[in-house]
Amino acid sequence: MQQKTKDIQNHFEGFLKTPCLWIESAVYGLKQFQTEQKSISLNKEIDGTLRLGKYIERFVSFQLSQNEQIEIISENIQIQKEKITLGELDCILLKEQKAIHLEIIYKFYLFDTSVGTDEIAHFIGPNRKDSLVSKLDKLKNKQLPLLYSKECQDYLKTIALNSDDIEQQVYFKAQLFVPFSKKKIELNQLNSDCIAGFYINMEALQQFKDCTFYISNKKDWLIAPHPNVAWQSMPSFKEDCSVIIERKFSPMCWMKHKNGCIEKFFLVWW
């Protein structure tokens, strides 16, 4: 139980240390939520079995609750029309008495110049199923406009708020990964501090045959790599990864070099 608590604290620390994907309103006019990112002890029970998105939401809820200038009014608000869910508002809060509708996002994106024609469009999900552009479009055109729907207006009356008095912001954190063959890329719109590692395919992996490896579980995607894991040699690592790759999933892995340096990377199937 103690180890589980320690793991969750480590995940929370990893979340806190992840930078926001952009500063202020640099992307799509979406305003980033500003709050302190100082290290705090997680003294709240959090369900370790939650999927990553909901797990992160619990972290944000705890982080906000530690700030005396913030009062959480409601969270995970289902907006329904005749028993059909239109969508969900992640959080409504008061910050220094200003009402804010906050959407919470934590993502992992890979930089691929073969997709799209600009910096934002080049970032895709590790399995190529999603993209930064599609997420931003969904936020801008679906999730945020929900606040102004008639059904949401009805809900807001129950908490004595009006949509005209609520500012919409996003808390969008991300880890970005660049191609191994081109590690140095210049980002103009996005925060280059979000670059957390690189990606590579199985064929190119052969050049690291003298390294040892670790396949990270999904929750550990949040944390910085460390040496205290069960490292694998190249042959057993490739064998385990080939099963994952065949299913068209790209695992996040750690690589330890002979000099002790550890790097974080996605092994991609494509």
For β-strands 252-256 and 212-215, DSSP reports them as antiparallel
Average pLDDT over the chain reads 94
- Output the pLDDT for position 119: 96
Q: Give the number of residues written for the chain.
A: 270
Tell me the pLDDT tens digit for each residue of 237-258. 999 999 999 999 999 999 999 9
pTM of the model: 0.95
pLDDT above 80 (res 120): yes
pLDDT above 50 (res 1): no
Residues 6+ apart with CB under 8 A from 220: 11
Domain coordinates of the chain in residue numbers?
2-195, 202-268
pLDDT above 70 (res 2): no
CA distance linking residue 16 with residue 165, whole number of Å: 29
Copy the structure tokens of residue 158: 């129950």
CA distance linking residue 252 with residue 259, whole number of Å: 21
pLDDT above 90 (res 44): no
Q: Which amino acid is at 89?
A: L
